Amino acid sequence: MQKRRVGILISGRGSNMQALVTAMRQPGFPAEPVVVLSNRPDAEGLEWARAQGIPAPAIDHKAYANRMAFEARVHQALLDAKVDLICNAGFMRMLTGGFVDRWLNRHLNIHPSLLPAFPGLQTHQRVLDQGALITGCSVHFIRTEMDAGPIVAQTAVPVMPDDTADTLAARVLAAEHKLYPHALHLVASGAVTIAGERVVMTPPIGKVPTLMWPPLA
């Protein structure tokens, strides 16, 4: 199978980008990282990517007159790298419908909640404030609405009684680093297709254990 060419968009340290690149470098992974782009020239993840031999240019959104001009430059950089799939990995820019439509069903994002619950920012504090007992993370195909789109994979993370937003965020992030490569593998291998606005797995998933939290005695 020919490897799918992946472009990764970041805005900061890119810990999910690092997890994706590390996974893609493993034998048999059906995708390869070909470019890392950031809208912030000072993003720490750019140096890490360059040290791995991955082209990692910065495209500063502040240098462009509007979002469309910025996105046109990002789009061209992805085309120049012959990208098949895009992964947002801490990319903190909302994208217009024009960009989303160009990469429809080829553009993934990870969000630190069990979508459709708790979209947007300040996720972990909101989870705690509302007394949720289980949270997690979700990988989904991007749509124009924030944190919306067909969900590829999710991981559940129990909320502990003494959790703060920071401790919960750290545990969810550790789960993200495992979930995102798994989801990308599913998409790049062709195991995932889209029917309407839902993900279809091939072959279908069988029965799995149920998570109960707090657990039964």
* CB atoms inside a 10 Å sphere around CB 158: 17
SS3 label, residue 36? strand
Cβ atoms of 197 and 148 closer than 8 Å: no
> Where in the sequence numbering do the catalytic residues fall?
111
| 157 φψ region: left (φ > 0), alpha (ψ -120 to 50), beta (else) | beta
Query: How far, in Å, CA of 35 to CA of 5, rounded?
Result: 9
C-alpha–C-alpha distance, residues 5 and 24, integer Å: 10
Tokens 């999910």 belong to which residue? 16
What residues are paired with 31 via a beta bridge? 4
Spatial distance between the Cα atoms of 160 and 200, rounded to a whole number of angstroms: 33
